[in-house]
Amino acid sequence: MKYTIYLIILTMGLSNFQVEAQELKPIYASNPFLSSYKTPFNVPPFHLIKNEHYKPAIQEGILIQRREVDGIANNKNNPTFDNTILALENSGELLTKVTTVFYNINSANTNDEIQKVANEIAPLISTHSDNINLNEKLFAKVKTVWNQKDQLNLTLEQNKLLEKTYKEFVRNGANLNASDKEKLRAINNEIAVLTLKFDQNILAETNNYEYVVNKKEQLAGLPEELIIAAAETAKGKGKKGKWVITLSNSSVMPFLQYCSNRQLREEIWKAYKNRCNNGNEFDNNAVALQIANRRAEKARLLGYRTHAHYVLEESMAKTPEKVMTFLNQLWTPALEKAKVEEAQIKQMMLAEGIKDNVQPYDWRYYSEKIRIEKFDLDEQELRPYFSLEAVTNGVFMVCDKLYGLQFKELKNIPTYHDEVTAWEVMEKNGKHLGILYMDFYPRASKQGGAWMTSYKPQQKEGDKRIPPIISIVCNFSKPTTDAPALFTFDEVTTYFHEFGHALHGLLSNVSYKSLAGTNVYRDFVELPSQVMENWAADPAVLKMYAKHYKTGEIIPDALIQKLENSGTYGQGFATVEYLASAFLDMDFHTSTTTITGTAEAFEKESMKKIGLIPSIIPRHRANYFSHIFAGGYSAGYYSYIWSGVLDTDAFDQFKKTSLFDSEKANSFRINILEKGGTEEPMELYKKFRGSEPSIEPLLKKRGLETPSK
């Protein structure tokens, strides 16, 4: 998942904005962010928001928050939790509301005008964040409360909010001298612009590519529904009578899996793996290195050896050394398994008269053929049972059986695109919990990947719970004129995954928004999402939701058995390509010297160091590794498999009793999903589990156990 948390507190010189505010008064009058609009459940007024509304609303929000922050810093009363920590937590309400909508739309439904605004406000965001974090009078107030914490009789949540607030000031340079603070401002400003550019380059490069197929026979091997989808893509691009392959995952991955034309597979694969590495205006070689080097410079300025040391201080892992030990523990068995899979592919290629070495564009194609030959499982057999409607029903059913949740589609509620659906989420008794937006299909205005985000995090006003507004955004296979959206099994598990993140946001039940939902350590945030994937694949659960879109027939036992039998097949490849990216991330962010050359060259050396076989490339190559260069996962991409230890261990507890054990489900909800970042993650996990997790369930799930086990 590309999961991003935007912490946005903006400020700028007051006099500049006062002048601009006078000029922008006519726009304010019609700006929905600046009026007392009312929408159902207080969702954003998407139907009223125009691109020109964002910047003026941000400017007004800055003025308001600036006054609030000045009021806190200049308060003549003795600093207390309420007048300092809580006041800061509650400041910038308008600004947060506007920027949250803006950045979510910039990811899910952008255009040239929105990207222009994004470039304009990026340095403003950086500048004002620094103005708050480096405000000496303000930090003195915070520090006073921090030093008195043991005498304040604070609740557990108050203590956590105080700790988080104090640490954020320190980690953002509050203790630096004046000269170093200016250096930090310059670095932060540069990073803000560079990360935005990195992501925009990926979107542009992806949208700019299309491979036009003129003859249907070139698509030999592709299932008919994929050929139809390629024809409809072509038609949408004004190329009726042809077929178009794009670089969106829902197009390129099935193509690499089924196309029997090896030369054409190579063509598409090269285009995919060379994104933002073509020496054009969208090339990310220099951008990636600039980001990595500026981060390293910032870390050293703040007193840390590397960026990874800085990041991992606030994680379950705590140190880069512990992360590397963990990754190496998995690398050896994963690589051994991948080499066995490679040998099987090589054998099949030789049988077909292909004497060439196994290439990266061969893996998915021959893995599918081996899966059919070895396990009698053709993934195309599965897709008719995984329509959008069926999988959605499955997700809702699991949520009902585990947590008693109910979902009601809302037809008359503003959305930001006509493909987006909106849902009210309720307890069993009908009590409102929150709103969920779901946005499933790829389009040119949307970043690739899948993610969960928030338009409004949960919080409390006194004893009253303020419900959240959550969204999941994906890039799944689209419906065609002949069939509804039919998902691959990988897309099914991604749906369950993102829904697990959504539950983390929807079921949050804490006092403060900055501790709510997914505001947890990066290597803990994937637990709720990854544990949900386990229900998607369980045979008993499949029988409950996987139904043929035409006949309504429940998925046959024989097909489920084939799926189970092939469960660990391909895990060598999947684990190695993932771990390769995790190692690459750590190498970029543990560097103690300035990285020179190109991102591609750095990647090559990184992969050579771990012994990555030539037939596999990292899942995310450096030039399009948006997770770490634009998405908040820097020195944290390892967290997916770190959380994998937690999720497989957690699901193992359910399997030992019942898939829908009410006691365990209630414990998981109360101790994990509702608690957000109010306690240390391992303490929360132990409250659910009763002990720390074991790595054995993960190794078993991926087929990576050593022979002695």
Pick the closest to residue 467 from 431, 439, 514 (CA basis).
Answer: 431
Helix (H) or strand (E) holding 311: helix 307-312
373 is annotated as an active-site residue: no
Report d(CA 295, CA 289) in Å as an integer: 10
Pairing of strands 432-439, 469-473: parallel
Report d(CA 677, CA 563) in Å as an integer: 37
Report d(CA 275, CA 206) in Å as an integer: 7
Give φ, ψ of 215 to 5 degrees: -125, 130
Residue 579: partners with Cβ closer than 8 Å, 6 or more residues away: 327, 330, 331, 334, 641
429 by Cβ neighbours in 10 Å (0-12 / 13-18 / 19+) ranks as exposed
DSSP state of 486: B
Bridge partners (DSSP) of residue 212 are 244
Report d(CA 453, CA 518) in Å as an integer: 9
- Tell me if 558 sits within 8 A of 565, measured CB to CB: no
Task: Calculate ∠ Cα 377-379-380, nearest 5°.
Answer: 115
Query: What 3 state SS string does 665-708 have?
Result: HHHHHHHHHCCCCCCCHHHHHHHHHCCCCCCHHHHHHCCCCCCC
Structure tokens, 637: 């991409």
Residue 76: partners with Cβ closer than 8 Å, 6 or more residues away: none
- Tell me if 148 sits within 8 A of 295, measured CB to CB: no
Give φ, ψ of 451 to 5 degrees: -155, 160
Bridge partners (DSSP) of residue 456 are 469
Q: Among the options 157, 498, 603, 674, which is catalytic?
A: 498
Structure tokens, 291: 């980001």
Active site amino acids: 498
